[in-house]
Chain A
Amino acid sequence: DSGVTQTPKHLITATGQRVTLRCSPRSGDLSVYWYQQSLDQGLQFLIQYYNGEERAKGNILERFSAQQFPDLHSELNLSSLELGDSALYFCASSESPTEETQYFGPGTRLLVL
């Protein structure tokens, strides 16, 4: 157990819908990262937050957004869902925005039908 928690574990929804994925970092970690894992794209970095502010952005679609709250938990919002958004979404955390070691949560498996 890495100490990073994610909810829900599974999510099944329909195209066009909007979902919110939640992540709580390890105790003491200030930086949160979101990754998407799909069969064709592998593990892709989406976005990083540190202490509530966006720190780095990857290949995140405009339909996706994220935020980090004062208690340091983070939410990833996915809207206008398409079939291709079906994937595993992982959250990771690190002590600081420059601390290299990232610990991954258990992931949320999203299935868009």
Chain B
Amino acid sequence: DAGVTQSPTHLIKTRGQQVTLRCSPKSGHDTVSWYQQALGQGPQFIFQYYEEEERQRGNFPDRFSGHQFPNYSSELNVNALLLGDSALYLCASSLARQGFMNTEAFFGQGTRLTVV
């Protein structure tokens, strides 16, 4: 089992550019959540995707958008990059059960985004 895989591992972008980060969930998982972890801080919830729809969103601007594909993999897109978007972006996958909270979330190793 490959677990949660994220690509790329590192990325450098220029302010104003757009970036796409990718996540493949753990085998059997159908839900993907994205988190932003700034240096020295805990992760902050961006949004969650289930059944190819955004199920919930944290306090992030519309510049942050996502997508989930039929195979449950997901993308995080950030437009008009700001210096403050520099962070580690973590993807977590889990299995949704109707009527219950998500079970344990498995995290990937993250994508380190640097905006210059």
Asked if chains A and B come from one complex, the reply is no
| Chain A residues proximal to chain B, CB less than 8 Å | none
